[in-house]
A and B are shown apart, each in its own frame.
Chain A
Amino acid sequence: MHIRRYDRRTLLKHASAGTLASLGFTPLWSAMASEGKIDKAYPDELKSLSDYSGGAVAEGDEITADNVESVKDLLEPAKYMHVAEMGRRLRVVPQTTDYMRLGPWEYQEATLRNKGKARFDEQMNVVDDRGKPWIGGNPFPEPESALEYFAGLTLSWGRHDASVYAIREYDVDTSGEVDYQYDLVWAELAPVARVSMDPKPYWSEHLDKLRFNSVIFTSPVSHAGTSFLNIWPYDQHQYPFLYGYVPDFRRIRQFPTNQRFEPLVPGSCLYLSDAWAAGDPLHTWGNYKIVGRQPLLAGVSGGWKPKNDNWAHAVHGGPKGQSFFESVVELVPETIVVEAEPVKFSRAPVGKKRVWFDARNLMPVAMVTYDRAGKPFKSFDGCYGLYDQDGEQFMDGDHPYWSWCYLHAFDFQTGRISRLEQVKELDASHSTRVNDSYIFDDYLTQNAIRAWGTT
């Protein structure tokens, strides 16, 4: 197909309207399905930051306070503020054009394989063409509504059937000091829509559930053993059941299911509700709407640091040089900006959230939440990546692991920052694992969280 040349203004106008196909570009999902690449879906201006910025910033450069104005329209407000005012630096890496490098291999395959089979049932839960729970991959690869963006994300957070993330969290105060540091384990397992682990696509005895998820703190000693086990019903109107091991009580207690806007530990900027930008059941939020479409600088590759001890990231920025991880961004050619409101949480501190979805894999690449008064509350930005870098690989079965690498949560109103990084291991007991058949017994039962509890 011949693509005639268009001026920059026309291209960007159509890009922001999602109508590049009308100019002769191949629709994104057709391009990825047929060739595994996005090249034919976007003009050069959206495939290279150098082209986009007219040479002001190029791949390999660093975005700093000195040149950030030239790419201001490619940054969500928190990241811009971090660079312009707080000394954060963003290293620009080349755009990822290979579809299979934008998610776990099996999930990416299943998304293409199952395209067109998903719908909402009368309860507005995602089902396949037989009316059964979803069978794997993203159910709505070409979303037609804001709800469909969040439906796919809520169905599968990390896009693996089972994951254990060994995490180091550093909470930074306004003076730039790390005043709290935590080691924690985040585990999630999907009993439905499974694409890697047997039985597939369903673990039949848990067909009524969407997810098992636990978070277990292992350090410092005051919080070691503090844990929360969420069991998500498949019905996205229902709140997850929440159990927790409370070290002071030395036993498991049940928690109410609707308290999801609480910092789990002192100093942290994160709520359960913030997880993966879709931490609550789909229909406990509402008023979903698409509010924009834009290219964005975001971290979707190159965030893994295999050469560093325990995959740790170097830090920089802020008053003490400890506020941010060493960050990489690439030009994401198209993001869809979607907003939603926590309609079932009457006293939530969040009035709405705005999430930027990468059109290529429909993962959130940035989120900003707003308080009830409409003021910016918190932002979340991080970096995904294929764990295949610098000559090193970390495998997920037959293919390199794909996951998130680090995350910044920034509180606009207090200036606090929580930095989280996925590390290789916390100690001999906890290491990052994926699609491991032991994950359920190790982390996702009451027996499991009790076993990790303080003794």
Chain B
Amino acid sequence: MTSKLGTFGLAAALAATPAISSAGIFKELWDSTVFQGILRTDVAIRTSNTQNFYNQGNQPYSDTEITRQAYFPPAFTDPGTIVPGGVVDPGALAALTGAIAGITGQDPGTPSPGYWTTPIPGVMDQFRRSDSVPRPDDDLNYLQFRLEGTMTTRFTRNWKLDVRMRALYDPGWYDEFETDSVNDIAGGFTGGQAPDYDVNYFEAKGRDGDKNLNPLEIAGEHYMIDLPTFQVEYKSGDLTLRMGNQTIAWGSSIFFRTLDIPNGLDFRRHLILDRAIEEFSDKRVPALSVRATYQLTNNILGDFFVKKFQPSILPNPNTPYNVIPTGFNKPFDNYYEGGYDTELDAGFRIKADYGTWGWQAVYAHRYNPLGVIRWTKSGVNKGLYGPVGEIVTAAYEAKLSPSEPGYDALCGGDNYSPTTCALYDTIDEAFANAPIAAGPTGAATSQDWFAVAGGVRVNGFEALNNAILDFPAMQDIYGAEAFNLEQARNELDTFFQGGGPMGGLRGNIERDYEREDVFGLGGSYVTSSENTWLDSIILNLEVQYTPDRVFTDPGLSKDYLTADETIASFVAEKWTRWSAAYPAAYLVFQYQYRSESDLVGLHLSGYSGNDEDGSDPTIPDGIGSSNYFVFAGFQPTPNRRFVIEWAALYDIKGGLLIQPGLQYNPGGGKVVEVLYNYVDGDLHGEPTENVVRRIDFADELVFRFTYQF
């Protein structure tokens, strides 16, 4: 079952090195190398009417025609509310009303006071997203081909090299979003982090778009090749030392990462919807690391690591399991620009086993691999489109610009007023310094803004205001803080018309990383009882405490949230025989409590919005804690030829993910797996109060065919 084929590359490399090209060494290494591999195909067939509502074409209100009414900005109706003592700039007002008259054929006159509530007569349109982006109708959620190979070369009794290569190809046989189809709307796609616009299944790059986040990865739109393992191991006595690219798994909880803290996760590929029983073996993000494991005593194992910080990797826009609404450009990842790529994580775990009981202690000084996200400047020198674009541009151009004479005297220091002074020479430049920019397929109506925000646990109301208050350029282009939902809706619909009749505004966000100290404790106990149901249950309790953990603000503010977080999980495992004929079934029951965040790390204060009716938005007021239950297990048939598997995740706020499955081992190196992902994010209660709702499109039948060689 092993082969020497995989050593060809090594052999060639050695042959090319004169110092070690002797036949003896060559043969020795050849004989010391083992290669194994798999070929695998994964297919997920959609069984739900719903498709990923974060992708183009599937967003809320895609097929609904929505009226967008534009409103006078407060700079022309209530300037004093914006700037103390502020007044309407006559020149700007004249330009504004003149532009309106030019478009509508009627003079709007001086607008009456009304903070984001005074309509601009005649400036309204009807928007329906599916007019420009038809709704896809995919049969497949997922189709990927995989080649994986492992190579082990033993140099001496103590030293060996382990390499695992993973190559994936996604042919993109989906009803893909076509970028070119909307390039004539609002100037097409501009800005954001590349790769962005064409659907890109694998590339994960830093902000500049040049370097992969994972240094040992080669990727393109449809393929990726990486080395999850590339390590040299030294083992002597009680010490095992591993140096190189590797992953580290800690903790006793399965799927709940209470103490599994060394590595981030790679959510590309099949998000968290692969076989649950595989946990995160294919998802932990490898990192260049030094790991030392030492058998401290007969009962105590010490595990220490220092590693290069590697962030979690999120799916790209419009890929099947994307989780960031495509109204946003792909987040600017500051991994390189922020210098995080040169930072190190470190930690240790002490694990003790005394037969029927044990304990563990964990500490890590690390960057949270999930990162934190906030609004950022678009960098797009592009103004607005359509009637609103003409009106706003005219008003903006009437303001005193920095290059005009007397700007410093009239607009410098305390004299600056956004109603009379422009911060930039052109409105295009202003938008480059704002977190939004006109474009196709962005947020286009206040309804979809609030519905999408509720869906991704963003506070749509605060997100609007933070975009304005954190970015002077937004105020410069007549953005003004909204004080109630009506104002927010009107302001949003006004701005969105700036994307032109078929367009909207695309948001820009950036991702940074924050350091934290994670402490963990755990205990285990194996029960003993005359009652077979209560006998030999393996109990584990794990607790993580992280002081001052930094979270993304649900309003995407530049000021992140900081809170002390406690995560605790309880695990009960049992192997039990139902009958003499069948091998023991594995049953595991788990519970996790999280004081601040949800299962994927988003702060709970963004929960409880309204993701269904954007015309009646709810400002999220959060939930107090998140609580999850898991019941999973498997039952092999005699000889383990078939293994029946199941896993269920229940969020007590009303979310349920159930995954029944069957593994078939026909032999001959072949494995066939079939499973079904049933997702219900609206079991009871408010849908946006449970985490499952976020993937409530993923009902699917999954097949996996594996051949080992």
Any chain A CB within 8 A of the CB of B469? no
- Docked complex Cα distance between A95 and B669 (Å): 41
Bits for B187-212, please: 1 = Cβ < 8 Å to A, else 0: 00000000000000000000000000
Contact of B669 among A220, A247, A261 (CB under 8 A): A220
B289 to chain A, nearest CB (A): 11
B278: A residues at CB distance < 8 A: 248
Q: Mark B406-417, 1 if CB is under 8 A from A, else 0.
A: 000000000000
Among candidates A179, A220, A349, A427, residue contacting B708 with C-beta atoms closer than 8 Å: A220
Q: Contacts A173-B667, A248-B279, A347-B577; is A428 near B32 (CB within 8 Å)?
A: yes
The answer to whether B580 and A371 have CB atoms under 8 Å apart is yes
Also in contact, A179 and B668, with CB within 8 A (given A266-B640, A429-B152) = yes
Chain B residue contacts of A441, Cβ below 8 A: 236-238, 295
User: Roughly how many angstroms separate A429 CA and B158 CA in the complex, as a whole number?
Assistant: 10
CB-contacts of A130-183 with B (<8 A)? 171, 173, 177, 179-183
How far, in whole Å, are A447 and B578 apart by their CA atoms in the complex? 34
**Which of A171, A247, A261, A441 has the largest number of chain B CB atoms within 10 A?**
A441
Q: Is B390 an interface residue (CB 8 A)?
A: no
**B529 CB to closest chain A CB, in angstroms?**
12
Contact of A455 among B246, B532, B640 (CB under 8 A): B246
Contact with A along B23-42 (1 / 0, CB 8 A): 00000000111101110000
Within 8 A of A (CB), among B123-153: 148, 150, 152-153
- Interface flag for B249 (CB, 8 Å): yes
Least distance between A448 CB and chain B CB atoms (Å): 8
Residue of A nearest to B231 (CB): A455
How far, in Å, is B285 (CB) from chain A's closest CB?
13
A6 on the interface (CB 8 Å rule)?
no
Q: A interface, by DSSP: helix, strand, loop or mixed? A: loop
In Å, the complex CA distance between A255 and B574 comes to 8
Separation of A181 and B667 alpha carbons in the complex (Å): 8
Is A243 within 8 A of B640, CB to CB? Answer: no
Does A70 interact with chain B (Cβ within 8 Å)?
no
Q: Is the CB of A221 within 8 A of B353?
A: no
Compute how far the CA of A297 lies from the CA of B207 in the bound complex, rounded to whole angstroms. Answer: 75
- B639 close to A447 (CB less than 8 A): no
Q: B377 at the A/B interface (Cβ < 8 Å)? A: no
| Known interface pairs A179-B667, A248-B277; A414-B37 also in contact (CB < 8 Å) | no
| Per-residue contact bits, chain B 556-579, to A (CB 8 Å; 1 contact, 0 not) | 000000000000000001110111
State which of B240, B536, B665 has its C-beta within 8 Å of the C-beta of A256: B536
A447 to B301, CA, bound (A): 7
CB contact list, B611-653 vs A, under 8 A? 636, 638-641
Nearest-CB distance from B242 to chain A (Å)?
8
Query: How many A residues touch B, CB cutoff 8 Å?
Result: 60
Task: Determine whether B318 belongs to the interface, using a CB cutoff of 8 Å to chain A.
Answer: no
Which residues of B lie under 8 Å from residue A451 when comparing CB positions? Answer: 233, 235, 240, 293
Which listed residue, A219, A243, A247, A438, touches B353 by the CB 8 Å rule? A243
Question: A439-455: which residues lie under 8 A (CB-CB) from chain B?
Answer: 441-442, 445-447, 450-451, 454-455
A256 pairs with B575, CB closer than 8 A: yes
A258 in contact (CB, < 8 A):
yes
Evaluate contact between A224 and B575: CB separation under 8 angstroms: no
CA distance A222 to B638 in the complex (A): 19
Contact status B580-A249, CB under 8 Å: no
Interface residues of B in 287-311 (CB under 8 A from A): 293-295, 298, 301
Distance in angstroms from B181 CB to nearest chain A CB is 42
> In the complex, what residues of B have CB within 8 A of residue A263's CB?
583, 636, 638-640
Say how far A2's CB is from chain B's closest CB, in angstroms: 56
B524/A220 in contact, CB under 8 A:
no
**Cross-chain contact of A224 among B150, B235, B578 (Cβ < 8 A):** B150
Is A455's CB under 8 angstroms from B240's CB?
no
Contact with A along B655-683 (1 / 0, CB 8 A): 00000000001111101000000000000
* A258–B36 touching, CB < 8 Å: no
- Partner of B584 from A253, A262, A269 at Cβ < 8 Å: A262
CB closest chain-A residue, reference B279: A249
- Neighbouring B residues of A412 by C-beta, 8 Å: none
Among B154, B242, B355, B581, find the residue whose CB has the most chain A CB atoms closer than 10 A: B355
Q: Is the CB of A267 within 8 A of B667?
A: yes
The residues in A between 78 and 103 inclusive whose CB is less than 8 angstroms from any CB of B are: none
Chain B residues numbered 249-289 whose CB sits less than 8 Å from any CB in chain A: 249-252, 254, 277-281, 284
Report whether B281 and A248 are in contact in the complex, using a CB–CB cutoff of 8 Å. yes
Cβ contact within 8 Å between A221 and B36:
yes
CB of B633, distance to nearest CB on chain A (Å):
13
Given contacts A259-B584, A267-B641, contact A250 B240 (CB under 8 A): no
The contact of A446 among B281, B295, B641, B665, by CB within 8 Å, is B295
Q: Which residue of A lies closest to B278 (CB)?
A: A248
Contact assessment for B36 and A220 in the assembled complex, using a CB-CB cutoff below 8 Å: yes
Closest B-chain residue to A453, C-beta based?
A: B249
Q: How far is the CB of B495 from chain A (nearest CB, A)?
A: 48
The answer to the question of B403 belonging to the interface, with a C-beta cut-off of 8 Å to chain A, is: no
> Which residues 160-188 in B have Cβ within 8 Å of A in the complex?
160, 162, 164
> In the complex the two chains form, is A447's CB within 8 Å of B238's CB?
yes
Name A183's contact: one of B1, B37, B162, B583 (CB within 8 Å).
B1
- A320 in the interface (beta carbon within 8 A): no
B247 at the interface (CB under 8 A from A): yes
Q: Are A254 and B584 in contact (CB under 8 A)?
A: no
A428 to B155, CA, bound (A): 9
Return the contact of B293 from the options A349, A438, A447 (Cβ within 8 A): A447
A346, CB-defined interface residue at 8 Å: yes
Chain B residues contacting A262 (CB-CB under 8 Å) are 575, 583-584, 636
Does residue A241 face the partner (Cβ distance < 8 Å to B)? yes
- In the complex, how many angstroms separate the beta carbon of A344 from the nearest chain B beta carbon? 11
- B residues within 8 A CB of A206? 298
Chain A CB within 8 A of B2 CB: yes
Q: How far is the CA of A143 from the CA of B638 in the complex (A)?
A: 37
- Closest chain B residue to A209, Cβ basis: B298
Q: Cβ of A447: which chain B residues have Cβ within 8 Å of it?
A: 238, 240, 293-295, 301
Q: Does A416 belong to the interface (CB within 8 Å)?
A: yes
Contact assessment for B538 and A347 in the assembled complex, using a CB-CB cutoff below 8 Å: no
List A contacts of B237 (CB < 8 A): 441
- Chain B residues with Cβ below 8 Å from A269 are 639
B1:A249 contact, CB within 8 angstroms = no
Q: Is A372 an interface residue (CB 8 A)?
A: yes
Determine if B666 and A179 form an interchain contact, defined as CB atoms under 8 angstroms apart: yes
Q: Do B641 and A455 touch across chains, with their CB atoms under 8 A apart?
A: no
A248 to B233, CA, bound (A): 21
> Of residues A171, A241, A371, which shows the largest number of chain B Cβ atoms within 10 Å of its Cβ?
A241
Let me know if B526 is at the binding interface, CB within 8 A.
yes
Q: Does B334 contact A (CB under 8 A)?
A: no
Q: Which residues of A contact B494 (CB under 8 A)?
A: none
Contact A250 B583 (CB under 8 A): no
Shortest distance in angstroms between B153's beta carbon and chain A's nearest beta carbon? 8
Say if the beta carbon of B706 comes within 8 Å of chain A: yes
By the criterion CB–CB under 8 Å, are B641 and A221 in contact?
A: no
* A255 and B575 contact, Cβ closer than 8 Å, known pairs A428-B31, A429-B160: yes
Q: What are the residues of chain A within 8 A of B322 when measuring CB–CB? A: none
Residues of chain A at the chain B interface (Cβ within 8 Å): 171, 173, 177, 179-183, 205-206, 219-222, 224, 231, 241, 243, 247-251, 253-259, 261-263, 265-269, 346-349, 371-372, 414, 416, 426-429, 438, 441-442, 445-447, 450-451, 454-455
Shortest 4 CB-CB contacts between residues of A and residues of B: A179-B667, A256-B536, A428-B32, A347-B577
Q: Name 23 A/B residue pairs within 8 A (Cβ), A-sorted.
A: A179-B666, A180-B665, A180-B667, A219-B36, A220-B1, A221-B38, A231-B355, A243-B353, A249-B279, A250-B281, A251-B250, A253-B252, A257-B536, A259-B536, A265-B640, A266-B639, A266-B640, A267-B640, A268-B639, A268-B640, A428-B34, A441-B238, A450-B293
